[in-house]
Amino acid sequence: MAKKNIPYDQKYYDPEIECMPRPQLEEMQLQRLKEMVRYAYDNTVYYKRTFDEAGVSPDDIQTLEDIQKFPFIDKKTERDTQHVGSFFGEMCSVPEEEVVFMATSSGSTGVPTVSPFTQEDFDLWQDTEARLFWQAGMRPNDRYVHGLNFALYVGGPDVIGAQRLGALAIWVGAVPSDRLLFVLKQYQPTVIWTSPSYAWTLGEKAKEKGYDPKTDFSIHTIIVAGEPGGSIKSTREAIEDLWGAKVVDFFGLSDIYGACAAMCEAKDGLHIVEDQILVETVDPATGEVLEPGQLGELVYTTLTKKARPMIRFRTGDIGYVTNDPCECGRTLARIHITGRKDEMFIVGAVNVFPTDIEYVVRAEKGLTGEYSIRVYDQDFTTKYEVSVERAQGSAEPYDEVARRVEGALKTHTGVRPSKVIVYDAGKLGTSSEHKASRFVDERKNNG
């Protein structure tokens, strides 16, 4: 599909969708929801069976709120039904010969789940990705480095969205840092997409090689995804200061596709593509639907995806939704993700997320920004300890660093860690070539 002929100074890639009045947007969502629920019921073994068992039918959808009558699905649903009866399983609604692309989840929480796409699905996905790239500030005169893994990862094909927009796409993938730094120096790209932790690590490695990330490269925008750091103010600003570039957070799911939501210039949540996804927030324990602005588990229903509809998919992400007007002018709702349901821990009756720890570590002076969290049971209660690195060349005593970080964590989270362990720069071992793992859960009953 040819790129859209849009003036470079036009703010919106698709103003009709991005700025649609909410009553009109919700009317469009309702029509698409009716069609999708009917399509799922008529074309998938799974939805036909579970809707009948729940005593609901597509005819029950008369308002957007009527989706609440329908059963949830989750990762376990995907695992239990994939490859049952056919290669893509009971949730797939098309014959395998109509599937042109498949992605898989990382499998970090169990068996990897497979996500199929028809050609129509794939084209719409990349058109939407182009829209989000434009929202991030990419234009056809940009050179774009796609620094994401291409191996089965749903973010891999998103490079095509940059090409749809008209930018020069440099398909780099997940390569070693030295190779990526060569690309940045040799070809002087202006936009790059990677994870927040790797954006930080790459900038530090550049400095070790004698480069100044702000002046030796031409990066003006760093798109990040895959981790929460891009929406954590202290992390985002640390990366921006390191590179002299703006950081824009993106969000995608292998279960749906790689272009679900993106940050705008207001940096107040991520605009979700409501023309294609209906979002709900529910109580993680009871499943009760919550009002906009209330913290809970985010639930998505696809409105256009044909290969495998996702009706009321519980993501495990904890956050909230706002649909009040955004200063950028877009009317699409914004999601604010605060953590993962399976990574939240409770200390002294206080809910703590790894993102709370990251905010403190990235905001504190005299640290490298690297950290790890260990959560464990002791004397019938949950405790947590945090490991950090003092800055390169720092002479501040380890115990003083520990006391300072302990105090900052107590102030921000409301609960003091049992211990803060301080390492020298580069010794913690969390620095990642791409996506860092910083959370160790040793609780006996954490499910």
Query: Which two tokens mark 359?
Result: 């905010």
Q: Are 129 and 164 in contact (CB under 8 A)?
A: yes
Q: How confident is the model at residue 246 (pLDDT cuts 50, 70, 90)?
A: very high
> In the prediction, which pLDDT does 3 show?
55
Q: Are 436 and 227 in contact (CB under 8 A)?
A: yes
HSE on the CB side for 125, CA within 13 Å? 30
Mean of pLDDT values over 410-439: 81
Query: Which two tokens mark 102?
Result: 């498949």
Residue with tokens 């234009």: 139
All residues at 6 or more sequence positions from 75 whose CB lies less than 8 Å from its CB, including other chains: 105, 109, 110, 113, 255, 316
Taking Cα atoms as reference points, which of 14, 286, 255 lies closest to residue 130? 14
Residue 380 and residue 266 in one domain: no
The pTM (predicted TM-score) of the whole model is 0.84
Residue 357 and residue 322 in one domain: no
Q: Is the pLDDT of residue 182 over 90?
A: yes
Instruction: Report the distance separating Cα 347 and Cα 266, nearest Å.
Output: 33
Q: Is the pLDDT of residue 172 over 60?
A: yes
Q: Are 314 and 73 in contact (CB under 8 A)?
A: yes
Q: Are 326 and 263 in contact (CB under 8 A)?
A: no
HSE on the CB side for 334, CA within 13 Å? 23
Residue 244 and residue 367 in one domain: no
Domain that holds residue 223: 9-341
Residue 387 and residue 299 in one domain: no
Any domain includes 236: yes
Residue 335 and residue 356 in one domain: no
pLDDT in tens, 30-68: 999 999 999 999 999 999 999 999 999 999 999 999 999
pLDDT in tens, 251-292: 998 888 888 999 999 999 999 999 999 999 999 999 999 999
Residue 263 and residue 358 in one domain: no
Residue 329 and residue 353 in one domain: no
Any domain includes 61: yes
Residue 199 and residue 310 in one domain: yes
Residue 187 and residue 281 in one domain: yes
Any domain includes 447: no
- Label the pairing between strands 334-340 and 270-272: antiparallel
Instruction: Report the distance separating Cα 260 and Cα 131, nearest Å.
Output: 11
Q: Is the pLDDT of residue 353 over 90?
A: no
Residue 220 and residue 249 in one domain: yes
User: Secondary structure of 330-365 in the HEC alphabet?
Assistant: CCCCEEEEEEECCCCEEECCEEECHHHHHHHHHHCC
CATH number at residue 155: 3.40.50.12780
Domain end (from 325, 341, 357): 341
Residue 379 and residue 252 in one domain: no
Q: How confident is the model at residue 112 (pLDDT cuts 50, 70, 90)?
A: confident
Domain count, the chain: 2
